[in-house]
Structure 1
């Protein structure tokens, strides 16, 4: 059995960032990933200013800025009319596919600690032990570490192995999304169409692409590109340029919060701790903020042989996740299908929020200040 300062279970965006941060500080860290190959597909794209600062700390922020598209504004529309524009030129949100950001993190971790990432290493059991935490692996091997971080995602097993439950918070709905070329004339702006049938959102992607997201009135499993085009066209009066071959990703946006973010010498990180609605795109950056704060807490805990710093981290980051979920739940309510009367009230509210001083507070919410 090999011993480490910290074992991180899961090589997603949060686990990789924490691995880089800890390796930079001279800790012996191992990152265990059950998959043998990196995950691709259509996932998160939004990198918010606080998350980018965390990536700066890991040494890849400049690469992200070079590769990403800067989203400098959000334009709200309804029935073909512009309701208002929020600008965040000073602190833009970056758009970069998650798999590309994770590739940069893996490269950075390889440079810092060449043997830290172990792929094909599924964790099948955990033993808190007395002096260290033991992890059993699917191949029959084992890993021992002073601290373990569960960054194994929404469907990860470690949270359940520790007996930590989850609580459902408000906010659940069905959506579908697909990517295509950008012909909106808004290369650096997100567009939010607030319509009676439900919201349609679109976001710029790298290389002149655009992601389209539509709220559905039920599960979208099996939806083809033509079906999503028809939903969008019926609401905004214009068919998005999504080719028939484009894969459509249907998903349920829901919110779940772990009842505790730490137990003993095991901490939950990112999606393992909080399943945040992707409407608003803040889940990935929230996981990075968790990781940046956990770096400092683990350094203090290891130096003092005391669990108190991680316990304090767990309380603070759980409170931050609650705040993020309240914001996400509001976003989802604003995008729900509605009657003409409710739509009129909603669009009037959006107009009011898009003017100072309310626009300053709303821009702060969209760029994740205070989390």
Structure 2
């Protein structure tokens, strides 16, 4: 083989190897810039705005959204490592940490928006009237546990014996038929019940929180958070920072752009314009990028409330150790 031919062959081999190396690392970089985020179907969050406005791409990463019907399925995916981040109730984070999972809250999305809604066919006018009422609620949730705690501490009675357990969609149907006197639901179901089914808000969780907390932990308790697998979070602090930036921008857009928020509620969640307007007004997103010290104390108070309702058994202080991402 001539030297010229050998040199040419070596050059080709080097070029092929270089191309393969670059392709491999380019693919690896793209993969590292993908965040797999799980959320429940029917659950409003800033993720809706991020995807609508392409805020992930604008911050140099890509979100792969994964939707789940059941909270248990979402939790299993998070535990197996099929997700990097989950958008879930803060008390559910406590439940996962109680099981020994390394889950970290990286941002609070919005405060409690649940409401106790009475049927127009019922005579219920106040919380005290719930003592003799038929109440509809989805019992395997932190929302119900906190409702129980609120009623026990503020009204002095246990609502469990008179509460009928049913999935969220069935709650609205039961209220409309008059099968129950009142229901305990969150957004966007609460606004749908009021605007489209003639329901009346008897009390909001924000109001109950202020009575229960007596001003110690802010105006309202945290409800929904972005929670990440601890191992993944510690390996990708820069990616978390970009996700936090995108989420905070989305929160500001939701809060300051009524047309955008209501468009999402109408198109994605099937709300009527009237229900969408009410939901948008009731649902204000948290604009803070990361978990502040005050937010951490607020979340621990929510966990205390959930513990009073029997949702968790472990001390909130114990569960809170290394549970929050305070920013870098």
Per the normalisation by structure 2, the TM-score is 0.29
Higher helix residue share = 2
Higher strand residue share = 1
* Higher Cα Rg, which structure: 2
Higher relative contact order (CA 8 A, sep 6+): 2
Per the normalisation by structure 1, the TM-score is 0.26
